[in-house]
């Protein structure tokens, strides 16, 4: 595993140096490397999104299986696995993007962070770059990583007291990180009205704030990484919304309808457990599912009708 990670570092370090050779600007080289990684991982992201939507579309049938075999977990799991195989579903498909991307982005993050590692004398001693590369030679022994008039080795928090002119560029970068982080969240929530009820929704609400806090305290070189990846993800989310949620027959719309049906089934199941008299009341085909009170009333009428029939038979 260590060799694989070191291989990632070497490959990304070489690629970063290559971009710097083309355009000798630290910010541009970091942005180009980030875009390259985002482009490479995009097919995995799209495949994982489609897999997640497929799982959501099948939720009502999965819920019926879970309800039918709720008293025998072993049989329930067997039936669910059989259902997955018959429909070509990979239960871990939605997690695939995270499993693939997490180590790659961690390496990218550490690579950018290591560019301004300092030696004992306080000058830079960059990690993960070939000592023969132009980027390493320009950084080694320096105390600044200047790009577009900004020292990328410093953070917004460290320059806050050095005047408006010095602080403003850092503040603008953080503002872009904040705007793009919150806008991504808006994009996801706008196509999923029930996003607040999803697992981890509370954590997602605070994620943009956490990103802004990181951008405030991390060196600006890492903020360039945040800005570039966020801007790319905004475009990626726009594409996902248009291609997978753009019309009534799209995978996203079908998944939304299925998720709503699954929620209704869950409510019915909960109501039946809470009120045993109503659990055998099934709505006629084409009619709306009765409310809890209506189901209870129908159950009472059904009981009364059964008692009347028994009395007539006795007579």
User: Coil, strand, or helix at residue 313?
Assistant: helix
pLDDT score for 239:
92
Instruction: Tell me the whole-structure pTM to 2 decimals.
Output: 0.75
Instruction: Tell which residue, 259, 275, 255, 156, has the closest CA to residue 214.
Output: 156
Q: Extract the residue ranges of the chain whose pLDDT is less than 70.
A: 1-2, 91-98, 100, 193-202, 248-249, 256, 259-260, 262-263, 265-315
- Residue 16: burial class (beta carbons within 10 Å; 0-12, 13-18, 19+): buried
pLDDT score for 23:
97
pLDDT score for 20:
97
- Tens-digit pLDDT profile for residues 126-143: 988 999 999 999 999 999
Q: Can you give the residue ranges of every domain in the chain?
A: 2-259
pLDDT score for 164:
92
User: Coil, strand, or helix at residue 221?
Assistant: helix
pLDDT score for 283:
47
pLDDT score for 216:
95
The C-alpha torsion from 50 through 52 and 53 to 55, rounded to 10°, is 130
Residue bearing tokens 């630290």:
26
Judge contact between 177 and 237, C-beta under 8 A: no
Instruction: Output the CA–CA distances (angstroms, integers) from residue 92 to 54, 87, 97, in the order listed.
Output: 12, 14, 10
Instruction: Tell which residue, 240, 137, 138, 229, has the closest CA to residue 191.
Output: 240
């Amino acid at each position: 595993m260590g060799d694989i990670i070191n291989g990632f570092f070497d490959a990304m370090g070489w690629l970063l140096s290559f971009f710097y050779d083309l355009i000798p600007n630290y910010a541009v080289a970091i942005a180009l490397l980030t875009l390259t990684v985002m482009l490479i991982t995009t097919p995995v992201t799209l495949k994982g999104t489609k897999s997640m939507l497929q799982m959501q579309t099948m939720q009502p049938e999965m819920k019926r299986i879970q309800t039918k075999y709720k008293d025998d977990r072993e049989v329930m799991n067997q039936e669910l696995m059989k259902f997955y195989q018959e429909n070509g579903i990979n239960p871990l498909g939605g997690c695939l993007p995270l499993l693939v991307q997490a180590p790659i982005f961690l390496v990218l993050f550490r690579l950018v962070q290591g560019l301004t590692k300092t030696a004992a004398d306080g000058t830079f001693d960059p990690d993960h770059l070939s000592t023969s590369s132009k980027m390493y030679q320009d950084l080694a022994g320096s105390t600044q990583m200047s790009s577009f008039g900004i020292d990328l080795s410093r953070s917004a928090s460290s320059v806050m007291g050095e005047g408006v002119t010095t602080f403003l560029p850092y503040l603008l970068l953080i503002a872009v990180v904040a705007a793009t982080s919150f806008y991504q969240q808006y994009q996801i929530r706008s196509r999923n009205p029930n996003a607040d009820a999803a697992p981890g929704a509370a954590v997602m609400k605070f994620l943009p704030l956490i990103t802004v806090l990181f951008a405030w305290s991390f060196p600006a070189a890492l903020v360039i990484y945040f800005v570039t990846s966020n801007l790319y993800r905004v475009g990626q989310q726009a594409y996902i919304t248009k291609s997978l949620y753009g019309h009534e027959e799209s995978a996203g719309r079908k998944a939304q309808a299925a998720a709503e049906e699954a929620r209704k089934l869950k409510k019915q199941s909960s109501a039946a457990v809470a009120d045993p008299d109503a659990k055998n009341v099934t709505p006629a085909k084409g009619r709306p599912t009765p409310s809890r009170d209506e189901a209870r009333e129908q159950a009472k009428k059904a009981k009364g009708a059964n008692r009347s029939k028994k009395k007539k038979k006795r007579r």
